[in-house]
Amino acid sequence: MDLDIRRADPRRGAVRDLVVRHLTGMHENSPPESVHALGIDALADPSVRFWAAWAGADLAGIGALTMLDDDRGEIKSMRVADAFLGRGVGRRMLQHILADAGERGIRSLWLETGSTPEFTPAVRLYESEGFVRCPPFPPYRPDPFSLFLTLSL
CA gap 140, 10 in Å, rounded? 24
What percentage of the chain carries pLDDT values higher than 70? 100
pLDDT of 77 reads 94
Phi and psi, residue 146, nearest 5°: -125, 145
User: What is the identity of the amino acid at 53?
Assistant: A
What average pLDDT does the segment 72-83 reach?
97
What average pLDDT does the segment 7-30 reach?
94
Q: What is the pLDDT of residues 25-67, one digit of tens each?
A: 988 888 989 899 999 999 999 999 999 999 999 999 999 999 9
- 19 in Cβ contact with 77 (< 8 Å): yes
Q: Select from 36, 148, 21 the least CA-distant residue to 85.
A: 21
pLDDT of 84 reads 97
CA gap 90, 93 in Å, rounded? 5
What is the three-state SS of 89-124?
Answer: HHHHHHHHHHHHHHHCCCCEEEEEEECCHHHHHHHH
pLDDT at 1 over 90: no
Domain boundaries, the chain: 4-109
User: What is the pTM assigned to this prediction?
Assistant: 0.95
pLDDT at 128 over 90: yes
CATH code of the domain occupying 4-109:
3.40.630.30
pLDDT interval class at 81 (50, 70, 90): very high
Q: What is the mean pLDDT of the chain?
A: 96
Q: What is the pLDDT of residues 87-115, one digit of tens each?
A: 999 999 999 999 999 999 999 999 999 99
Strand arrangement, sheet containing 4-7: 4-7, 49-55, 58-67, 72-80, 108-114, 146-152, 132-133
pLDDT interval class at 6 (50, 70, 90): very high
pLDDT of 29 reads 83
